Structure 1
Amino acid sequence: MIERKKEMGRDRVSRLVSWGHWFAFFNGFLAMIVGVRYIETVGAPESWIGWGYLAISTLGHFSFLAFIVYLVVLFPITLLLPYSKILRGLAAFAATLGLCILLYDTLIYDDYGLHLSPFVFDIAWADLNALLQGTSYIVTPLGIIILELTAANYLWKRIEKIRKSNYGPKVVLVIGLCFVSSHLIHIWADAADITEITRLDDAYPLSYPATARSFMESHGIEKSSKAQDPSKLQPSLNYPISPLQCSADPEINILMVAIDGFRADLVDKETMPFLYEYGKHNHEFKQHLSGGNMHNSGMFSLLYGLQGSYIAASDLSYRSPVFTQELAKQGYTLARFAPETSNIEPQAIYQDMTSHIQPLTNGVADADIQSIDSFNEWRMQQDKPWFALLNLQSPDSYDTPIGFLGIETVKPSTPLKPAQKVLFNQYRQSLNFIDKQLQKLIERLPASTFVMVTGVSGKVFTGDNDNQRGNLSPANVHVPLIIHWPGMEYDKTVTYPSSHYGVVPTLMTQLLDCTNKPSDYSAGRNILQPQSENWTYIGDNLVFGIYQEDEITVIDRHGKYRIYNRDYSQRLRNKKISAPELIQVMREGRRFYNH
């Protein structure tokens, strides 16, 4: 009798386990249907390779997720409480909760481009009314729970017939092959730079496709960097959102001087006497921020006018800034003068310009002198309107040419460590050298030349590049901006906040007579007027800061954040992140993507 009861108990558990597997498979199928919303967000594939990978990865991924949920939630209950009615009710509730979370994740991913995490959930909770509209958030869970209870009962009543059909091992084999195959295909796609596949990496929640990077590196195999034909790439950005409508005839020459490592607080009459006076008699912006704290992110915000989160967008490897595109369209001759620079990102940022690059054989300061000489020689040869980007980099390297006498050392206005004091005064020497070069340069220009002098980024006194990359303090992003408008002899000091994001909209509207809204092609607004936004995005797609009136929030790509006071001197450990501003940042970071 006892053996009989044990045997019946084992049989009941066996039937429940079998039922649980089929119920998990059914919910994996439902999850796949919900997952279609992710594809609507990232865009459907355009080739049979992309569709094939998408099909097998979807089947493998969501089936695997459903099985994990069953294994963690329902399987232990099956062993502890092997009663079908209880288990069916709990399973239906758990499946409904899981599918509702998945649906909620699709909404968040469509709006923010991020999947649910504790950090994202906090932000989304503050934006709940905008995410959940109408009564669907009430009706949908009710519909799902009814469907789940119906499916649970249907499968239980027919579980013996299903077991006898012996389809289970075949289904497991197919799902297992799909799961393994999707990872193997991704390893190949990652190694071969097949963007049609790798662009889907972050589409699904809890998706971590396998790569062979560590294996390849250990065997001396480099990842392929072969450029793909732009015509075969699916555009990921809707940039500009609307075709540009510009009507100006090219009349004015434009010189943009962008200086790496250029702090605003040291443009004073002792360190940079020429630029100090030049700013007084022209348009000077006292509260101007670069869009980045490094060369790439700073130049990206200056020329593209886009938030740094777009810097790695695939089609920017062949799509240049709309600003330089429009200059070329209107007949300007475009040129760039700069020292040698490695790892330019995005690749197409200088695509419309003829590059005059100077070697670093004798140092950065000597390369800057050669760049200015090269510009002067090039300018004299032009017979039609031109645009020139002159990138000077001496201050970022604390460099001065051999024999430069410089200025007296002074005591820093803020406390610095001994090594930083040395860098501080060497930095001042470099700025003084640049000031003398700017004087020679600008005084030789015709009065009708539009001149803009600004910084690519600021500068912190350290020799550690990693420290500089992670430092989003005002010293590293507050840069000068001085504009000379031909024909306007007046001093105009601007004290309201401005940023690099507003430079392109200003030049497009004021010089090129573009009638488009700035939001069609930029994250900024015309800097000749105070901005309505109370935040500024600083950084790239990996680490960024949100500058607000009273605080600075630094966030990494994993969602970890730190909040500092406005001068970056103190971390506010008990302060919570400001949800409304972060929601605006996230939406701006998705606004130009195709949906």
Structure 2
Amino acid sequence: MHETYVGRSIALVWVVSFLFIVSYAVGAVSGLGPMLYMLVAACWQAVVFILPLLLLRYAYMRYRSVSIAYMLHVTALLIIMLLISNYKLHAMYNFYIGGFVINLLTTPGGIDALGLSASFYRSACLLFVFLMVFYIVAVRFLPVERLKSILSRKGLLAVMVTAIFAVEASVYAWAAFASGAEYLAVASRVAWHIPVTSRHLLERLGFSRRNDQLGVKADYAGSVDYPGLVAEELGPVKNPMNIVWLTAESLRSDMLDSRVMPNTYAFAAHNSNFISHYSGGNGTRLGMFSQFYGLYGSYWFDILHGRQSPLLLDVLINNNYRLKAFTSARFTYPEFDKTIFTRFKPEQLQEHYSPGFGWQRDKKNTTDLIHYIKQSNAKNKPFFAFMFFESAHANYYFPDQDIVEKDYLDDFDYLSVNIAKNITQIKNRYINSSHYLDSRLGLVFDALKEQGLYETTIVIVTGDHGEEFMEKGRWGHNSTFVQEQIRVPMVIHMPGKAAQVVDYMTSHLDVPATLLTALGYEQPASTYSFGQNLFADDYQRDYTVVGDWHGNALITPHAKFILSLKSSLNSTTLSTLNDGPLEGSGLTANDKRLLTDFVAELPRFYKGSKEHENSADQLSQFNRSVNKIALSTQ
């Protein structure tokens, strides 16, 4: 009897996997050829999913152990759950379970960053119970004997599997070689698809590709050498102003209006408001990294590997600033305790991430931040205060008195809610939470004025990244480089500077140079960052760079070059600045020149020959992406 159930279990998982893959990948099909490829790819990937079960079946047939049979059933159920999780994750965020997700799940604070509601856990339990019942009934009663019988015919099975793999691998290899976007789009919808390429073999057989690149080559690799200067070489601060740095989770640029954020709107009207500002990432990790280091996102992995502090904070430490950083999330996820704040002492880092919702944690931390500001004023020493606000993070919680949009989704359960259908009500939750965030920011502004610190303190108000509400097809962030995910507010109170509205392109990359210049340092920003002083008379940014876990995107005033392998496969390689369609023929000569300039300057802070695993992987992804960009511009 156990043998019958084992065979049915394997057949069931193959059928479920095949149907899941086909139902999701069919949306990317654009013709008969891609349709046939989708079916073959689904067949092969379903085989990949059942490989662990085939190994357990072999062990069971050899040892006839009931415990192995039960282990096979548990594994089968886990595979189905992983399959569902993969496609739910991709539908929401545009990526599958991989390095990024594993990092999130295994790093302290990562799960907290998801903002999961209590209803999510209830739905997850119900789903698990449903899957168990479905699995038990299916294995016991569903008529899958024909497929089970195929598993016992080893010769036929081996021929079929080999043929399916050969066809799938050959089609994908040719598509990757010839830039067959319609086939690559289908492959991107197959969870955990294993790419097989054969560029060298095809070239030896006499097939030729179009020119790979736009006359440039990015063949650097090596250990990161940041910064070009060290804090000791800079000497003492000449203009020791205080710094209050306020970064809000998921705060996109259009939230800064008089209705949603009246306090911050009034603050911006009296200071420098950069209204065409870009984060350095479409997620928290690189959005924060870029504003403290002034480096592109692809440097994150080596900075983390080396536990290197940003030059700006090194300068403050060497000049005996009082230091305090507050977060309503965790400093461990992303790993800011090993990067940005790696030199901070434990008592200089305050995490308040539970209990309560994001707005409640922000309330506690704002009170403590204001207390710290008052203490610092009493000690008459220059101080640095950073706070990371969580109010605007999904699930977008807020108190009743901060409701400005009454038509909001009452219970935002990731598993049960139809996001597309309810997106307006979900966004209204976000607007209400941003309104509460504004009240906390207003308290900080008032405290600085009450303490007589306003004219001796630099104040920065910004977001780590934006948030999309399906304006371009996605919800949230960390998925693509559309404007909604990468545009953030940037308001700076710089003592002595008149109020201004700046409408040209600026970037998080410019923050370190702006602050170090304000503190009195005259060294060229190019020696320690990719940024510039935002207040320089000759400030001009021809392009900016935004990163994700998989690579960068180059943003010019006219176009976007998506160099992240994941984002380019799942969206587009080229687009207009506002995310419209753009063919390579529509690029200007200046756009192509800027791509060349970017490739040339990207390795500025890489020197030596020692390679780290992640930087080499980033480089490989970058080269593939540049190749794909170049092909599309021919």
- TM-score class normalised by the smaller sequence: 0.5 to 0.7
Alignment correspondent of 1:431:
434
Counterpart residue number, 2:387: 390
1:214-229 superposed matches below 5 A? none
Alignment check: 8 A CA contact 1:258 1:455 kept: yes
Query: Is the Cα contact below 8 Å between 2:462 and 2:491 reproduced in 1?
Result: yes
Q: TM-score, normalised by structure 2?
A: 0.54
1:237 aligned onto 2:224? yes
Please give the alpha-carbon distance, in whole angstroms, between the structure 2 residues aligned to 1:369 and 1:317: 35
1:373 Cα deviation from its structure 2 partner: 1.3
Aligned to 2:573: 562
C-alpha distance 402-532 of structure 1, shift in aligned 2 (>3 A)? closer
What is aligned with 1:507?
515
- Cα deviation for residue 421 of structure 1 reads 0.6
Whole-angstrom CA distance in 1 between matches of 2:399 and 2:489: 27
Shift of 1:314: 5.4
Pair 1:406-2:408 in alignment: no
Verify the 8 A CA contact 2:297 2:546 in the aligned structure 1: yes
- 1:363 equivalent in alignment to 2:364: no
The 8 Å contact of residues 458 and 477 in structure 1, kept in 2 or not, is answered as yes
- Corresponding residue for residue 471 of structure 1: 480
Residue identity in the other structure for 1:594: K
Q: Does structure 2 conserve the Cα–Cα contact (< 8 Å) formed by 1:505 and 1:524?
A: yes
The match for 1:481 among 490, 511, 516 is 490
* Structure (1 or 2) with the larger CA radius of gyration: 1
Other-structure match for 1:155: none
Residues 450-478 of structure 1, C-alpha deviations (whole Å, 9 max, x = no match): 21111111111269999722221111111
> Which residue matches 2:102?
none
| C-alpha distance after superposition, 1:491-521 (max 9, x if no partner) | 211122110111100100112x222110111
1:541-562 per-position Cα deviation (integer Å, ceiling 9, x unaligned): 5132111111112122488661
- Residue 295 (structure 2) aligned to one of 306, 311, 335: 306
Identity between Structure 1 and Structure 2 (%) = 24
Alignment partner, residue 274 of structure 2: 285
C-alpha separation in 2, matches of 1:316 and 1:520 = 21
CA distance in 2, matches of 1:257, 1:551: 30
Greater alpha carbon shift after TM alignment, 312-321 vs 383-392: 312-321
Check 1:576–1:278 CA distance in 2 against 1; reply closer, same or farther (3 A cut).
closer
Corresponding residue number in structure 2 for 1:268: 257
Q: Distance in 1 between matches of 2:545 and 2:431?
A: 28
Quick check: 2:407–2:425 contact (8 Å CA) kept in 1? no
- In 1, Cα distance between equivalents of 2:424 and 2:583: 27
The residue type paired with residue 244 of structure 2 is L
Secondary structure in 1 matching 2:341: coil
Distance in structure 2 (CA, Å) of the matches to 1:528 and 1:465: 35
Matched, 1:349 2:352: no
Q: Name the counterpart of 1:585.
A: 598
* Matches of 1:428 and 1:487, distance apart in 2: 33
Whole-Å Cα distance in 1 between the matches of residues 236 and 595 of structure 2? 37
Alignment of 1:130-279 (within 5 A): 236-243=223-230, 244-249=233-238, 251-279=240-268
For 1:222-247, what per-residue CA distance to the aligned partner results, in whole angstroms no more than 9, with x for missing partners? xxxxxxxxxxxxx9222121344244
1:453–1:563 CA distance, 2 compared to 1 (3 A): same
SS in 1 for 2:553: strand
1:249 deviation in Å? 4.5
- Is the alpha carbon distance of 1:127 and 1:359 closer, same or farther for their aligned partners in structure 2, counting shifts above 3 Å? closer
Match of 1:528 in 2: 535
Mapping 1:533-548, distance limit 5 Å: 533-540=541-548, 542-548=550-556
Whole-Å separation in 1 of the counterparts to 2:363 and 2:334: 22
TM-fit CA distance, 1:449: 2.2
Partner-residue secondary structure (3-state), 2:469:
coil
1:485 is matched by which residue type in structure 2? M
- Alignment partners' CA distance in 2, 1:238 and 1:399: 39
Which residue does 1:62 correspond to in 2?
Answer: none
* Aligned residue identity for 1:470: S
Give the superposition deviation at 1:482. Answer: 0.8
Structure 1 counterpart of 2:428, one-letter code: N
- Superposed CA deviations along residues 317-366 of structure 1, whole A, max 9, x for unmatched, are 41100000001111112211002335324622112332100023211111
Give per-residue Cα distances to partners, 1:136-161, cap 9 Å, x unaligned: xxxxxxxxxxxxxxxxxxxxxxxxxx
Q: Matched residues in 2 for 1:544 and 1:281: separation? A: 34
Quick one: distance in 1 between partners of 2:304 and 2:278?
27
The alpha-carbon distance between structure 1 residues 242 and 486, as it changes in their structure 2 partners (threshold 3 A), is closer
| Displacement after TM superposition at 1:280 (Å) | 0.8
**Partner in structure 2 of residue 80 of structure 1:** none
Q: 1:564 aligns to what SS in structure 2?
A: strand
What is the CA–CA distance in structure 2 between the aligned matches of 1:324 and 1:300, rounded to whole Å?
13
Q: Secondary structure at the match of 1:432?
A: helix
User: In structure 2, what is the Cα distance between the partners aligned to 1:467 and 1:455?
Assistant: 14
Give the direction of change, closer, same or farther, for the CA distance of 1:409–1:581 in structure 2 (3 Å limit).
farther
Tell me, yes or no, if the aligned pair for 1:312 and 1:541 is still in contact at 8 Å: no
1:534/1:398 Cα in 2 relative to 1: closer, same or farther (>3 Å)?
same
Determine the structure 1 residue equivalent to 2:159: none
Cα distance between partner residues in 2 of 1:556 and 1:528: 31
- Residues 491, 466 of structure 1: CA spacing in aligned structure 2 closer, same or farther, 3 A cutoff? closer
User: Distance between the aligned counterparts of 1:314 and 1:304, measured in 2?
Assistant: 10
1:443 matched to 2:452: no
**Partner of 1:122 in structure 2?**
212
Q: 1:386: Cα distance to partner?
A: 0.8
Q: Residues 55-78 of structure 1, C-alpha deviation per residue, up to 9 Å, x if partnerless? A: xxxxxxxxxxxxxxxxxxxxxxxx
Q: Residue 483 and residue 467 in structure 1: after superposition, are their counterparts in 2 closer, same or farther (change >3 A)?
A: closer
Gaps of 5+ in 1: 1-97, 102-116, 132-201, 204-234
Instruction: Check the 8 A contact 1:453/1:481 in 2, yes or no.
Output: yes
1:374 aligns with 2:368: yes
Distance 1:467 1:254 in 2: 30
RMSD: 3.3
Q: Residue 462 and residue 316 in structure 1: after superposition, are their counterparts in 2 closer, same or farther (change >3 A)?
A: farther
Distance 1:468 1:440 in 2: 28
Q: CA deviation at 1:288?
A: 0.8
Residue 478 to residue 373, structure 1, CA distance change in 2 (3 Å): same
> What SS does structure 2 have at the residue aligned with 1:297?
helix
Measure the CA separation in 2 of the matches of 1:553 and 1:467. Answer: 21
Q: Deviations over 1:420-471 (max 9, x none)?
A: 2112211110111011111112101132322111111111126999972222
Deviation, 1:418, is 4.0
Deviations 1:105-151 (A, max 9, x none): xxxxxxxxxxxx969x532x5248x99xxxxxxxxxxxxxxxxxxxx
